Structure 1
Amino acid sequence: MRFVIISAGRVGLRTARVLREEGHDVTIIERDEAKVRRARTQSFTVIDGDGSREAVLEEAGVADADAVGALTGDLNVNFTACMIAKHHGCRTVMRIDEAYREGIYRKYAEEVDEVIYPERLGAIGAKNALLGGTIRAIADIAQHLQIVELTITDEAPVNGYTISELQLPADATVLAFGKDEQPLEIPSEDESLEVGDRLVVLADFDVLSEVRQLLVGDGSNETTTIDADTTTGGLN
């Protein structure tokens, strides 16, 4: 499939990489020189220009694209780009940055196929929206739940335990486990917990402090909140 991604910022570039890794053809539109250079160093085809202009979209191949992802931080650019792309028969995905506006845009931006809020969905959510699939973040399903990554410290009460010996509160469960500096995987019951190991846990907010006490101990801040595609950090 062919995709046009508007923005080579964090969300746009990560989405483009995910699509390319799955074998899709991706063209990026970006007007910031530094971001254009960064995307080109990663071997992307980049059109230098304003994605809300029809001539720029046409140069990027909107006429032959299956979908357009307007993923900039500018709502006006995103909305205009989606209207132009819809005119060319593309599936359209529009990024918004304020959660409270999501209902408004879903109600009034009827021509847009999917409205996404990447602070919740991240690149994987944007990719699925472009492909026409569906994805829901934990925060959309149950606001009292949180996915966190915790790193075992030498102060952790469970240091030296195996996964099978780990007894978390009833409202918490281990989703993934990774040895120090190793990729996260589905946990094995025989794995031992050692300093530097990481656990990804789904837990109710009410038991997060208890979970942290067990896996980290009192004196550390080794806790990371994880979003729907397991990425953290600011979005551009």
Structure 2
Amino acid sequence: MRMVIIGGGSLASHCAAALTKRDHEVVIIEKDQDKIDVLSQYIDCGFILGDGAKPKFLEEACAKNTDALICLSDSDTDNLLAAQVAKTMGFKRVIVRVEDDELEPVCHNLKMEGVIFTNKQLTREIVNMSELHDGMLRSAYLEGELQFVELTLDENCPKTLDEVELPQQCHLVTVNTGEKCYIPADVKSLNTCDKLLFVSRHEDLAELRKSLGLSSDS
């Protein structure tokens, strides 16, 4: 997949490095040549020198060949502006980093999708990690080997948990029926639209989806 990242700061560089390690093609748009010079020494990706919020440089990034535009500059305003401009230019998917929680109503009014409020997300991750009582699971989670994944069941789902053959390193945490959240031991049946929360390795996600009767892109 081809990913375009706006920004050359710490988060942007970490994401770019992680994506290239997963064999994705990455292009970084950054307006500071000095940052590009530093990043190019250890990240094998393309670079565009310019302001990612301006159409000229987004055009150079080529929307039709890009699977996701990820706005990770240090400015919430620039990220939101870039996302709005990108929507008019045909980018398939736009992911936006926003630090200021007070901007959430603005994003809602603009009907923006793919917005990550980093302070909220970090809080959620800390709480999730603190609730992992198993030492080995907690260690793997901290090292990035495990992640929390929520999957919504469809009409092809198994009827009971006994019918589900989970990958060995995958653990079911909760089942949310929409009315109540249950621990696995209290779940008697599975139904369409139930939301299941798992702790899983990234490489097991395809097998996990298959075990639940879900398509690979659900």
Provide TM-score, normalisation by structure 1.
Answer: 0.51
Alpha-carbon shift at residue 99 of structure 1 (Å): 2.6
Tell whether the 8 Å contact from 1:11 to 1:118 is kept in structure 2 after alignment: no
Compared with structure 1, are the counterparts of its residues 120 and 22 closer, same or farther at alpha carbon in structure 2 (3 Å cutoff)? farther
Kindly provide the amino acid, as one letter, of the partner of residue 71 in structure 2.
A
**Post-superposition shift, 1:79?**
1.5
Alpha-carbon distance, 1:37 to partner: 1.1
Matched residue, 2:216? none
Q: Where does residue 125 of structure 1 map in the other structure?
A: none
- Kindly indicate whether residue 34 of structure 2 is the aligned counterpart of residue 47 of structure 1: no
Deviation of 1:171 (Å): 8.9
Query: Which residue number corresponds to residue 66 of structure 1?
Result: 67
Tell me, in whole angstroms, the C-alpha distance in 2 between the residues paired with 1:118 and 1:50. 22
Q: CA deviation at 1:177?
A: 4.4
Percent identity, please: 27
Cα distance change, pair 17–185 in 1 and its aligned pair in 2 (3 A): closer
Alpha carbons of structure 1 residues 138 and 184: separation in structure 2 relative to 1, 3 Å:
closer
Q: What residue ranges of structure 1 are gaps of 5+ in the alignment?
A: 123-135, 140-144, 149-169, 187-236
Indicate how the Cα distance of structure 1 residues 185 and 36 shifts in structure 2: closer, same or farther if over 3 A, else same. closer
RMSD between superposed Cα atoms in Å: 3.0
- Higher relative contact order (Cα pairs below 8 Å, separated by 6+ residues): 1
What does 1:1-236 align with in structure 2 at a 5 Å threshold? 1-41=1-41, 42-90=43-91, 91-102=93-104, 104-110=105-111, 112-121=112-121, 137-138=124-125, 145=127, 147=129, 172-174=133-135, 175-177=137-139
Q: How many pairs does the alignment contain?
A: 141
Higher helix proportion (structure 1 or 2) = 2
Flag structure 2 segments of 5+ consecutive residues without an equivalent: 147-218
Partners of 1:171 and 1:18 lie apart in 2 by 25
Cα separation, 2, equivalents of 1:171 and 1:3: 32
Distance 1:171 1:26 in 2: 33
Displacement after TM superposition at 1:66 (Å):
1.6
- CA change 1:88–1:185 in 2 (3 A) is closer
Deviations 1:32-52 (A, max 9, x none): 232211221123211111001
Matched AA of 2:96: M
Larger radius of gyration between Structure 1 and Structure 2? 1
| Residue type of the alignment partner of 1:4 | V
* Structure 2 Cα separation of the partners of residues 65 and 185 of structure 1: 27
TM-superposed CA distance for 1:138, in Å, is 3.6
Q: Is the 8 A contact 1:7 1:29 kept in 2?
A: yes
Q: Match for 1:147: what amino acid?
A: M
